A and B are shown apart, each in its own frame.
Chain A
């Protein structure tokens, strides 16, 4: 049985959606294919009639600042995301996450669209995008819609995207109060008399030579005003059935100075809200809970220092 019969390389989103809808079933989008190909080869995904390759569609391969946001096309190879100066400037956490996804050869073809579409609660790229408050642009026959990343995930491996009729075009990452692009990192802007500095960070803990997914990862985006955490987003994976935003912890720390006492309260909120689970060969829920504090502190401290 051939793993696929027909391989299409459309040049536009419209063409791709048409191909997806008009091809004999089963038809399926392929971006980098670094997961899909393995699923097909190893029988976890049954053979398909048509693969619709979206990596040649210009709309999905753009990486630019547009309408006050950084747009990362869903089919931009992870390695290009990691190497992009624009991403480094606006979304350092994403650079750090992308540099840790798989290995260099896989990163040269794998995409953020695929990373997100799999809806895994601990995918490194997804966790970084979540902390960066990214929105996804999803295209379907009836048009495109933008949705907050959080609303994209329904359960482990389940996304809100209709895979037989829709595709992810890309991600918008807010560039936050920045009207012009600053050449140097970190960015700062004076609004009135106040100086805000914005930064982000991503780290993870793995087994040595670890399996594809981390034991635990964490991304933090924050806006610092002197010693006050003006705003903060925290994402932890796996911290629940879907990629987890630690909103309680964010509420605890927002507007507060960062010190031992506030950190401890924030961590407490994070641990109370997160639902750690045991994965058979990676880690127990207890272990994850135990190391979460250290990882979170490490990531938060780095982001905080970067925003100095």
Chain B
């Protein structure tokens, strides 16, 4: 009826011809280039696409564009006001940055727009109002408490006209000039204004759109493949199959066992295997062409779980069999150990597959250059690994490929494996045009590696006084169709499977098995999440059996300086576990002297509350003998500013803040004087994988030593020029003092260049050497498998509804020994998010695969915890510095998430006597257990 859509967007009016089938989000992003509005799921679940229509927040991904005719739209780009020459942030935008509510930033436009609508309607909201309004606006970095505080602060500022109040966040106890103080993210403002560019926001001239055709069968041989109809479709530019792979047919992070595409006669190992890829003029045509590809398979029996995979006579998925790795830990003498025990308990636990559900789905763009090189724009946790894998598949030297890393809307381990990178390189090479491959949420859920589902049997032996004498564990890990990092993840699960305890006799056997499920790989916690659930449940079971308080049992056995770990490593320093235990214990007892006893609600006797307790440890760094290196480069520019560069990934966790603070510290300048460039294989040295909580440590150190090297060069230059001893040259507040002269960095830069020196320095840091699991050192002892460990303890207060089995987590106390808090604001975000991810792991998340087919193939079916489930989180920072870490720092990204699950399930037991041994917690099962418990 209408032949045009007239609408006002951020104060500007537009009249646009309608496009059939278009949604408002597409109109905003593609026609008006307002890419601040993000697409996380395209199914009205995540809220990232929220915009205001006539003042009301709506999900623009399911809003027909034609309905916006005559309406007034506000997007994130419309909030900041131009005042004179400068853009003045809206108080909400300012508060989000100040309160550390911004991490990966992908959900932030949706959060801010939703909050903006709330404050228009209700200028003085309380916590409940905020939670009600933001119920369905998901944040996977999960800084919900910071988001709430930011909204409260912005509301106050808007009411009073006063500046936005800053949060009170204590400095590190090891504070320096820059490091140890709260510092705002360098990319914060871009992320709150919608200017931050993520891969899918990029458009290149002549760009094509790609789609991968997935096998959609869990196991079988590809018999026939007919791409003729797809090729014939107008608008299709290329359809490629396995035959077109120029180089190696497989890719992988460690083991090259994952086909770029499955060819005719070859084996399909999971539903997400690609069998063909299409590039077309539009996404719609590419999708349509993909659907026109005809395939026939010779179906094979499906291996659905790791226990079945190890049985005799079952089909073998890979040439070398279904066993990826049998991992063994041996310490002491098990027989003697259990003989010493007064009490022996044994129990088996199960954990499900889980998805990272980063809000930004995978996206890669391949751009062919006239000189024959290929640029790949992608948000990747391991840019140099991407380069290697793309080059090998293309049959090219690595230098021919450049990975240009983009802002990432979350990673959590799920963006380590190659997804579309090779496919776009092939299509861009074949068509000599830029090609974008954006996964929709469905494809993201189907294809990328997950958290391993596990079965973990724990047998634990202790003396009557509570001293642990022997722990024997057996683990099965479902690594799915391909190895990814499966061996490493399950190794970590195995080595950590007896908990953070000093135990004389330990044995662990793990079978990492291939199955026909989606592959499993890295996911925050890296196997330790699963192992901690099992062993920390056992610790509480043991405490009850021995009639010892759970906290005392852990104190008695906790790792301390001087302990020998299960892998034979003597801990020589930086073991803050006991302090974490003591501080969490003191905090819960402040609130309740008998925290682990059930308390019945006086108003509603069906509600019972209790606290639960759990401890954990997690390695920092790769360990196990892998060379753990990171390179960084620091350059001084003519304007006196610095740039620090490393290919390490910024995925929201705050590495860029850490790098700039460290360089600022070493140069005695304000952090704002330091720019950061990451994730570019042409421009940044190799920082290695962003995984294993390692980057603050390794790239932090690389940045630090690169800065020191440059500083030494500057000192030498000035010492020579002013003829003074280098020791007499002082760096202070952005000025260098030498023999009565004060010199600016801009002057030094010019000085050095004039002398033919480049004012820059590269440093490749190599972390202390580690030993592979089970390898004896020269002196006949086991060596250090890891160069540092972080420790974490959590207590949760849980309320159980005895009528329904419903669980509500009310409070979480989380203490983490992080060595040294480099940026306390960034740390806060990691800890809040870690708790929420742990809570999701425990209560809501389950990636369901039935007979190899994915059931949870939309975000609507995979339950990611939202703000309504957020408990009150109290963070306690414990700082036992590690000598080699930068200023004493070690990793935090994973440890803060690991103890949450067992702390909750232990609290459930303490409240109502039901032991949860399989995740996620199922309220129905709790109810049946309650009914059947006398």
A-to-B contact residues, CB < 8 Å: 1-10, 30, 33-34, 37-38, 41-42, 47, 51, 53, 55, 77, 79, 102-106, 108-109, 205, 207-212, 281, 283-284, 287, 290-291, 294
Contact = CB atoms under 8 A, between A and B. Distances in A.
B804 interface: yes
B67 interface: yes
Contact of A108 (B57, B804, B858): B57
Nearest to B866: A209
Contacts of B585: none
- Sort A-B residue pairs by CB-CB distance and give the 3 closest, nearest first: A103-B136, A2-B21, A37-B62
Given A9-B69, A105-B114, A209-B869, A37 B803 contact: no
Contacts of A210: 863
Contacts of B23: 37
Contacts of B808: 208
A298 to B, nearest CB: 9
Given A103-B136, A106-B44, A281-B848, A207 B67 contact: no
Contact of B43 (A38, A108, A283): A38
B597 interface: no
A105 B58 contact: yes
A212 B861 CA distance: 9
Nearest to A104: B133
A33 B62 contact: yes
A6 B20 contact: yes
A33 B63 CA distance: 8
Given A3-B21, A205-B804, 17 more contacts: A1-B284, A1-B288, A7-B64, A9-B1, A9-B66, A30-B64, A37-B62, A37-B64, A41-B62, A77-B56, A104-B132, A104-B135, A207-B923, A211-B863, A281-B848, A287-B928, A290-B931
Contacts of A290: 927, 931
Given A9-B67, A108-B58, A109-B63, A208 B863 contact: yes
Given A2-B20, A2-B21, A290-B927, A108 B56 contact: yes
Contacts of A30: 64
Contacts of B861: 211, 281
B519 interface: no
Contacts of A291: 803-804, 927
A207 B931 CA distance: 19
Interface in B92-135: 114, 132-135
> Could you say which interface size class chain B belongs to?
35 or more
Nearest to B931: A290
B135 A53 contact: no
A10 B66 CA distance: 13
A105 B136 contact: yes
Interface in B275-309: 284, 288
Contact of A212 (B18, B137, B843, B860): B860
Contacts of B69: 9
Contact of B806 (A7, A34, A104, A205): A205
A34 B58 CA distance: 10
B747 interface: no
A105 B20 contact: no
Interface string B64-95: 10110100000000000000000000000000
B807 interface: yes
Contacts of A38: 43-44, 62, 860
B844 interface: yes
User: Which of B136, B137, B861 has the most A CB atoms < 10 Å from its CB?
Assistant: B136
B927 A209 contact: no
B57 A105 contact: yes
A294 to B, nearest CB: 4
Given A5-B20, A104-B114, A105-B136, A208 B62 contact: no
Given A102-B136, A105-B47, A209-B865, A42 B807 contact: no
B401 to A, nearest CB: 35
B34 to A, nearest CB: 18
9 contacts: A37-B63, A37-B64, A103-B135, A207-B923, A208-B808, A212-B860, A281-B848, A287-B927, A294-B804
Contacts of B516: none
Nearest to A40: B21
B703 interface: no
A8 B64 CA distance: 11
User: Which of B288, B858, B924 has the most A CB atoms < 10 Å from its CB?
Assistant: B924
Contacts of A51: 64
Contact of B869 (A4, A10, A33, A208): A208
B927 A34 contact: no
Contact of B64 (A33, A77, A205): A33
A299 to B, nearest CB: 13
User: Which of A7, A37, A53 has the most B CB atoms < 10 Å from its CB?
Assistant: A7
Contacts of A108: 53, 56-58
Nearest to B59: A105
B864 interface: yes
B160 interface: no
A10 B858 CA distance: 33
A102 B62 CA distance: 14
User: Which of B42, B67, B137, B843 has the most A CB atoms < 10 Å from its CB?
Assistant: B67
B2 interface: yes
A221 B43 CA distance: 35
Contacts of B865: 208-209
B50 interface: yes
Contacts of A281: 848, 855, 861
Interface in B844-902: 844, 848, 855, 858, 860-861, 863-866, 868-869
B1 A208 contact: no
Interface string B31-58: 0000000000011100100100100111
Contact of B47 (A33, A41, A103): A103
A149 B58 CA distance: 29
Contacts of A10: 1
Contacts of A34: 44, 59, 62
A284 B924 contact: yes
Nearest to B133: A104
